[in-house]
Amino acid sequence: KAGVTQTPRYLIKTRGQQVTLSCSPISGHRSVSWYQQTPGQGLQFLFEYFSETQRNKGNFPGRFSGRQFSNSRSEMNVSTLELGDSALYLCASSLRGDTNYGYTFGSGTRLTVV
């Protein structure tokens, strides 16, 4: 079966712009989580969605937002981009959303802000 699909794979944006990233989970998976990966900070938790509801949010500014659709696909949006937002954004899906089965990660979207 298809894995977790993230689009686009690469993105270059200018400071002040906004960006939307997309994540399609494994078919049947209802939980989607997003992480920001940077060389110095590792994987930092952004959001968790389960059945279209945001269940958890990490310590990121309000410029970072997300949502989940009825088909479990998820999007995250970053407004007013800053240079420090340059990172690999990973989404992960799981079947039940209670950490009993572990994540499957997508390949990520590499965002570069110039």
Partner 1 sequence: GENVEQHPSTLSVQEGDSAVIKCTYSDSASNYFPWYKQELGKRPQLIIDIRSNVGEKKDQRIAVTLNKTAKHFSLHITETQPEDSAVYFCAASGAYNTDKLIFGTGTRLQVFP
The contact set with partner 1 (CB under 8 A) reads 31, 33, 35, 41-45, 48, 50, 55-56, 90, 92, 94, 97-100, 102-108
Closest C-alpha to 76, from 44, 34, 114: 34
Rounded distance, CA 32 to CA 74, Å?
7
Q: Count CB atoms within 10 A of the CB of residue 49.
A: 28
Closest CB to partner 1 among residues 22, 44: 44
Q: Which is nearer to partner 1, 15 or 55 (CB)?
A: 55
- CB of 46 vs partner 1, minimal distance in Å: 10
The least CB distance from residue 71 to partner 1, in Å, is 18
Of 24 and 33, which has the nearer Cβ to partner 1?
A: 33
Which structure tokens are listed for 90?
């990973």
CB of 2 to partner 1, least distance (A): 14
Tokens of 100: 């009993």
**CA angle centred on 110, ends 38 and 56, rounded to 5°:** 65
